[in-house]
Amino acid sequence: MKRIIFLFVILVFVLFAGCTTTQRADDKRIDEMQTFSPEGSGFSISLPGTPNFETQTFDTNFGMVVSKVYILDKGNMVYQVSYTDYPDEVKNADPQVVLAGVRDGAVANVHGKLVSEISTTLNGYPGKEFKTVIGTQEIYTKTYLVNNRLYIVMAAGPGYWQVLDSFNLTGVISPKTTMIPPANLVPDKLTVYFFYGEECPHCHIVMPTIQNLSKKYPDVDFKILEIWHNETNMVLYRSINQNLGISSSGVPQVVVNDIALIGDLDISNKLENLILLQYKKQ
């Protein structure tokens, strides 16, 4: 089976790898928690703050998919919850094989050591819980496969058990397919916002990609907007990022519907597939 693991799994490990605390994670309890349940996510969870939101796109054997990721980094505490919608074909796969692939990929990507795991369920849906160690750091993970939606909850630091145990499903409806359609199947109008700065070298690196895609897909409305010297464009840029829940960003940035790509590498590698993906959803 082609990898079904997720690139965003790496992020929480990398963030926590920089922490220097040596106290055991289960020695402390978090006193102030708040319920977090994004609209349409199908889950609720208690966190000691408001997480940042981002989306990540990547390829699997089921096609290109989009993950919605919520990350709360508080120095010696890192918490992450994410979900990914797959095409209906994933329902035909053995759920334990899928969940085992997530587990193995998460551990292997960070050169960690799997020290414990159990198979579990949540509201009748299959899941796995496992603990990974990287040096002296402990990372705890829960994964659940709900129809064709995969949830991953990760916690590292004090109060990890409070966060993990608070995760609940809130009435999931079978999600829509998010597989990339074949090239050139672009039936409807789509708007792509490209924000850049005049003196930004990375912006000029990716500019030819934007220009080439605008020629390749003439039905796509490419809005190329300089923001460092244009206050009107800057206001639009800030408004869009605020609506997306992005607290800190930079240029170059592309926004397609509710998905943002930041940086010349992500834009160059992912934008065309993202355009096709969003056409599929329209």
Instruction: Kindly report, residue by residue over 165-219, the tens digit of the pLDDT.
Output: 889 888 644 333 333 333 343 445 789 999 999 999 999 999 999 999 999 988 8
Instruction: Kindly report, residue by residue over 15-66, the tens digit of the pLDDT.
Output: 443 332 333 334 466 678 889 988 888 899 999 889 999 888 776 766 778 8
Whether residues 153 and 225 fall in one domain: no
Domain count, the chain: 2
The burial class, CB within 10 Å (0-12 / 13-18 / 19+), for 113 is exposed
- Whole-prediction pTM: 0.57
Contacts 24+ apart (CB under 8 A), 257-266: 257/190, 257/281, 258/55, 259/55, 259/57, 259/66, 260/54, 260/55, 261/57, 263/202, 264/202, 264/203, 264/205, 264/206
Query: Nearest CA to 144 among 115, 124, 173?
Result: 124
- 63-73 and 52-60: which strand pairing? antiparallel
Amino acid type, 254: V
Q: Region 7-20: what's the mean pLDDT?
A: 38
Q: Which domain holds residue 264?
A: 190-281
Whether residues 135 and 227 fall in one domain: no
Domain boundary among 136, 169, 202: 169
Q: Specify the pLDDT at position 209.
A: 94
- In this prediction, residue 281 has a pLDDT band, given cuts at 50, 70 and 90, of low
Number of other residues whose CB lies within 10 A of the CB of residue 94: 10
Whether residues 158 and 27 fall in one domain: yes
Which tokens sit at 212? 């080439």
